[in-house]
Structures are given as structure tokens and as C-alpha cells.
Amino acid sequence: MIGAAACWAGGAGAAELVVSLRAADGPVAHAVVELLEPGAPAPTPSPAVMDQVNSEFVPRQLIVTRGSPVSFPNSDSTRHQVYSFSAAKRFELPLYAGTPPDPVVFDKAGLVTLGCNIHDAMIGFIVVVETERYAVSNAEGVARLADLPAGAYRLRIWHERQAGEPLLHSVELPEDAQESVSLELSLKPPRPPRGDERLRALQERFRALDRERD
């Protein structure tokens, strides 16, 4: 599975695309930028892992191609109950330790927000893409895709704070040239911190109950 950005063999006339993303509060980091080509075959699904370590999803954001099976091991000593109510994938894993026997298949493109019914502060994201041509924006809000064949493409941009549907933008890439695109995203305000003392005390109670059951 390709990680932070897609890589593939380029050739003569290959182009580069530089996408700069901003929102009302500044540059947008951690946005997933897909470069969709009409008529392109779907990428091959590839197994992936979303772990749980110290009551956090690891990685916080996982990118998979459509149809990929994802395993959800629990590396903590306390049990977790992973769920999602997202339109791209609704599921719930019963309270468990270790690794569930069956992975979850993500068969629809979109942003999947993960939570834990036991630990409210846990939050993670799975972005299901339909191409291996994607990149993730850096702290300056810049995503780069290199070695691209010239032609007409459509950008689709996902972000954990997106408001509504993902941003779509058409782009034409010339041969052997760099194309730059600047886009403004409409994002929800950042989530408020949820690691207050009351929540931590509640989590400790659940951990104590788990230890007693073990």
C-alpha cells in the first residue's frame, strides 16, 4: 500500500502538479488529494492495519484504496469498541482485546470517522480513495504529485474537518511542465480538546474494570 504519496513510473513529457490548500484559519495540512482520470482502472485493493495504542488510533489517518480489508488490532491492555457511523462505511466491532478474526472491507470511497464507544477521546480517520495517484498536504498546505502523464484530470480533496461533500476541481496537465493550483476549502472549526480530567478519570475506571475482568 502506498503511504503519504503515490509514486509510479513517469516518462517523456511527464508533468508535475502542485496543489496549495487554504481555509479560513490558514494552510490546510493532512488533506488527501486524489487525482482522478476518467476511464482509469480501479486500483488493486491492499490489506492495511489501523492499530490502537495508548487509547489512540495509530495512524490517526489511514489511506486505503477502495475494496481494501483493514484489520483493527488492539495493542492496549484495555478493551476497545471501534465503530463508525460514516456514510462511506458503517460498522461496529464488539468490545474486544487482541485482533478481531475478520478485517473490515472498505468498499466505498469516502471519509470514514472512527470512534470508540468506551473511550470518547479516541478518534481516527480512514480515507478510502479510488486511485493510487494521491498525495497528502504538508504543514504549509502543499501537496505534490509528480511524473504524471499529460491530460485532463479531476481533483478530489478530503479532509477530516470538511463541511459536506469533498471539493472537486478539474485540471488540465500539459506535457513536461509544472501546473500549480490554489484552492480554498470550507472546513469546520477544529474539534475542541477532549482530554479533560473528568474524561481521564472515566477512562481510568474502564481500565480498572478491564483489569478486574482479566
Q: Render pLDDT for 173-188 as a digit per residue (tens, 0 to 9).
A: 999 899 999 999 999 9
- Residue 141 grid coordinates: 498546505
pLDDT at 11 over 60: no
User: Is the confidence at residue 162, as pLDDT, over 60?
Assistant: yes
Q: Which domains does the chain have, with CATH numbers?
A: 15-213 (2.60.40.420)
Q: Range with the lowest mean pLDDT among 27-41, 111-125, 188-202?
A: 188-202
pLDDT band (50, 70, 90) for residue 125: very high
- From the list 98, 95, 111, the residue with the least C-alpha distance to 163 is 111
What are 146-158's pLDDT values in tens digits? 999 999 999 999 9
DSSP class per residue in 179-206 = EEEEEE--BPPPPPP---HHHHHHHHHH
Find out whether 157 and 35 touch, Cβ atoms under 8 Å: no
Please tell me the predicted confidence (pLDDT) of residue 193. 60
pLDDT mean across residues, the chain? 88
How do residues 22-52 score in pLDDT, each as one tens digit?
A: 999 999 999 999 999 988 898 999 999 999 9
The per-residue pLDDT for 190 is 83
For residue 42 the three cell numbers come to 480501479
Beta strands in 24-149 (DSSP E): 26-27, 32-36, 48-49, 51-53, 56-58, 61-65, 68-71, 82-86, 89-92, 104-106, 110-116, 123-129, 134-136, 142-148
Query: Which spans in the chain are helix H?
Result: 197-213
Q: Which of 77, 109, 82, 106 is nearest to 94 (CA)?
A: 82
Question: Who contacts 10 (Cβ-Cβ below 8 Å, separation ≥6)?
Answer: 146, 147, 148, 149
Q: What is the mean pLDDT of residues 197-207?
A: 53
Lookup result for grid cell 490558514: 26
Output the pTM of the full model: 0.83
